[in-house]
Amino acid sequence: MTKYVKAGVLNVAYLVEGPVAGPVVVLLHGFPYDVHAFSDVTKILVSRGCRVYVPYLRGFGPTRFVEDSTPRSGQQAAMASDLLAFLDALNIETATLAGFDWGGRIAALIGVLWPERAKGVVLDNNVPVQDIARDAVGSASPEAEHRYWYQYYMHSERGRAGLTQNRRKFCRHLWRTWSPNWTFDDDVFERSFASFENPDFVDIALHSYRHRYRLAPDDPAYIEIERRLQTLPPVQVPCIVLVGEDDGVEPPGGPDPERFVGGYDYEVVRGCGHNLPAEAPDVFAAAILKLVNA
């Protein structure tokens, strides 16, 4: 059953399962996915006695802004602050955090900014903080630039129109190309697609992919946090990085522990793509339990 809690600027919709006294795990989805990516992971964690929370991010599912006047920001500082507010609202002092895509970064940023709130973090790449100054003027390899087409598409108003008018086909195309070995049926996709019909979905996605290249302004509420992040501080809690061998947007690049000072493990998950919780729930859950039981 979906529950709700007022947390900062949001009324956050979330799922929760498991014993009240169990060790707390918070699972965070990315774009364009939702809480259902963690269905099998949650079952495993609950069977091991964990209390599991799975919130819908801003712009997804039933989560809504409290005030119409709040900027629809998708910047990293805003979403990290959402998670901190969620933990505060539910009186969660510390939790093991895990996510992929946007959710992986959000989890890691708690370990950067407020490490006392994270027992450990599971994420899906070696870049926990967006280096906006570099990305705004730099470039990647031609192969990487090709994979990032969807980000550049959303820099334009043509991209806004495309995501608005072709939302179902756009998101399904990303699912297929990012996880080429994952066989999902219409019911699985449509269950998550309902979350993408949130009225703020397009605005937040566009702001996220514009802000990280200095093509959209900061939300004034998060300027100081964003300035701190642009010093590229490291993650200060234990981290496990899981990367899908066949990830169609962020393929394995090898271990890179530079930005992780609290402990670091790196694993390539064979035969899997971008949506690791759905494609390899046993592996994803095992990584979380390793941190829970540390």
- Name the 3-class secondary structure at 109: helix
The CATH number of the domain holding residue 62 is 3.40.50.1820
Q: For residues 140, 141, 143 and 146, what is the CA-based torsion angle, rounded to 10 degrees?
A: 40
28 φ, ψ (degrees, to nearest 5): -130, 120
DSSP for 58-89 reads TTSTT-EES-TTS-----HHHHHHHHHHHHHH
Q: Which domain covers residue 235, as residue numbers?
A: 3-292
Per-residue pLDDT of 265-274, as tens digits, reads 999 999 999 9
* pLDDT number for residue 75: 98
Single pTM value for the model: 0.98
Q: What gap in Å lies between CA 267 and CA 41, rounded to an integer? A: 18
Strand segments, DSSP code E, in 105-144 are 118-123
Per-residue pLDDT of 155-213, as tens digits, reads 999 999 999 999 999 999 999 999 999 999 999 999 999 999 999 999 999 999 999 99
Q: Count up the domains in the chain and report the number.
A: 1
